[in-house]
Structure 1
Amino acid sequence: MRKFVLFVGGLVALLVLLANLGPMVLLAVSGWLLYVVFKKFVKSDSTAAKVGWVIIGLIVLSIVFSNIYAVIGVAAAYALYWIYQNWNKDDSDPVVDVMDSDDPFTNFERQWAEINN
């Protein structure tokens, strides 16, 4: 049952990721452009150039904010990574019975499991 739920969750996350792939690429490109505009703004000497870079930066920033839904795609990518990491994880405890005896042979499995964890 656990693997079925992980499979369905992975399938949904994959579909969401594929649906948001375009906005994710555009968000990354516009973030890079915003960085380039900032670097050009810092290097410019004249006031007119700085005003021009601020206007271009605001235009690029509006593109960044219009693609903010790409964060959903990033969350879907993280969900896929989490599902991949937890696919073969075993939730069961290796020792089911815990004996309250002082006999070392009856508690050996429990102690061995505690050492390994």
Structure 2
Amino acid sequence: MKKFLLFLAGLVALTVLLANLGPMILLGVSVWLLYVVFKQFMKSDSTAGKIGWVVVGLIILSVAVSNIYAVIGVAAAFALYWIYKNWTSKSEEIRSTKSDDPFTNFERQWAEMNK
């Protein structure tokens, strides 16, 4: 049942990630352009040049702020990562192996201590 619920959550997270992929790319490009504009602003010596770079920066900032909901896509990507880690966790394998081998028992006890 746990694997089925993880699968459903993974499908939902993948759908949200794919739906927000365009805004995520646009947000990344906007942040990069803001960095470039800031560097050019710092290089500029004239007042008119600095005012021009501020205007360009404000326009790019408005594009970045309009795509701020792309953070939901980042959260979906993190959820997919978390689901993948839980899907492939080895704690179930360690619990299921019970033998008289001291190394196996050590691994099981170590996994229980790290919870």
Aligned residues: 106
- Residue 8 (structure 1) shift: 0.3
Structure 1 gaps of 5+ residues are 96-107
Match of 1:13 in 2: 13
Alignment map for 1:1-117 (pairs within 5 Å)? 1-89=1-89, 90=91, 94=95, 112=106, 113-114=108-109
**Alpha-carbon separation, structure 1, partners of 2:110 and 2:42:** 58
Distance 1:115 1:65 in 2: 47
Q: CA deviation at 1:114?
A: 2.5
Runs of 4+ in 1 over 6 A off after TM superposition: none
TM-score with structure 1 setting the length: 0.80
Amino acid at match of 1:67: N
- In structure 2, the CA distance between the partners of 1:33 and 1:115, relative to structure 1 (3 Å rule), is closer
Q: Which amino acid aligns with 1:12?
A: V
Identify unmatched segments of 5+ residues in structure 2. 97-101
Q: Distance in 1 between matches of 2:58 and 2:68?
A: 15
Which position in structure 2 is the counterpart of 1:100? none
Q: Percent identity, please.
A: 64
More helix by proportion, 1 or 2? 2
Cα deviation for residue 4 of structure 1 reads 0.6
Task: Measure the CA separation in 2 of the matches of 1:46 and 1:67.
Answer: 32
Bigger radius of gyration among the two: 1
RMSD, aligned CA:
2.4
Partner of 1:101 in structure 2? none
**What is the TM-score when the length of structure 2 is the normalising length?**
0.81
